[in-house]
Amino acid sequence: METKCICGIRRIYKAINSFEKMLEADLNLNLNEAMLLCSLSDEVTLTAGEIADSMQLTRSNASKVIAHLEQRHLIRRRVCKTDNRSMCFHLTKAGEELLQHLHCESRQLPAELKALQESIPSES
């Protein structure tokens, strides 16, 4: 049986797990929380549904990530300007400051992740 593909995925999974442990130790953030901060830095404001969709999380899991970052005062909710029935989320000053510590250049990425990260075209 050919196992090269699944073994490669296993190595990537272990590398992601190792990276997440480093984030938790250094910044007290799990990977989903870090990704939400990054998403909000790209989009300025997002609804809970947009957050769930962009992060490919269930609405329930997205709500848990949002709640934890709100408790830490890293994001804030407001009534959306375009739809008063919806809540929009944005970074706080503390969230913006923490985001400055998330740059991959300042982190030691596991080799598997570094190779993947370098193969992704930079955004213009």
User: Which CATH number do you get for residue 55?
Assistant: 1.10.10.10
Looking at the structure, tell me whether residues 45 and 71 fall in a common domain. Answer: yes
Residue range(s) defining the domain that contains residue 46: 30-101
Rg value, the chain, Cα: 16
**Per-residue model confidence as pLDDT tens digits over 6-50:** 888 888 899 899 889 989 999 999 999 999 999 999 888 899 999
The pLDDT assigned to 74 comes to 97
When comparing pLDDT for 1 and 118, which is higher? 118
Question: For residue 124, is pLDDT > 60?
Answer: no
Query: What stretch of H or E contains 42?
Result: helix 31-43
